[in-house]
Structure 1
Amino acid sequence: MDHLNLFEQITRAVGPLLGGGHVADYIPALAGVDLTRFGFAVADLTARVHGTGDWRVPFSIQSLSALFTLAMVLKCSSLGSGTGRGIPPHDSDPARPQHPTSGNTKP
């Protein structure tokens, strides 16, 4: 299956969901967003861009940009050093066995 066929299948699958939900009307750039629009694009390693749906329609990245900012902060600071795979969750129940990397030194 080629990527353009896959993109079209995704667009058709998303179609019934369009128009649902609410826009964040307290953000001026998002207040007038058309809930029936959907599109996405992917650039390949040769810089060719492939898209589907309304991918050429300009849009505000107000909420989406927060994810990129968070990723950048976590990568560039010590804030991200305690996250990820292999880090046990905090468990305050002393009767429960502790994960070996939790720092619990009780026998």
Structure 2
Amino acid sequence: MASLAGPRVYSCSNCRNEVCLHDDVISKAFQGRNGRAFLFSHAMNIVVGPKEDRQLTTGLHTVADIYCRDCREVLGWKYERAYEETQRYKEGKFIFEKSKIVKENW
């Protein structure tokens, strides 16, 4: 018998709080602070920290760290503003560090 599969989600690797959906992955070719990272269009069950300007590999961006709502683990950041025209597609999107999330319901 086939089982009904729910949405494939990623959870916080620390407390297993669901934080993003696989369907919202834009790219898996990003670099985080500690290795590979994924760019997502949406996030859930997170807290967005204060905005700050950060010099990243692709130039200057205004970003805000994102934290798991339950355990407060830093999971990545949200792009608030991109100063270069070619990077504007990132605005409002989320970076999740691959090492900070785990697959659930796959």
Instruction: Decide which structure has the larger Cα Rg and report it.
Output: 1
Tell me the TM-score normalized by structure 2: 0.20
Larger strand percent = 2
Tell me the TM-score normalized by structure 1: 0.20
Structure of greater relative contact order (alpha carbons < 8 Å, 6+ residues apart): 2
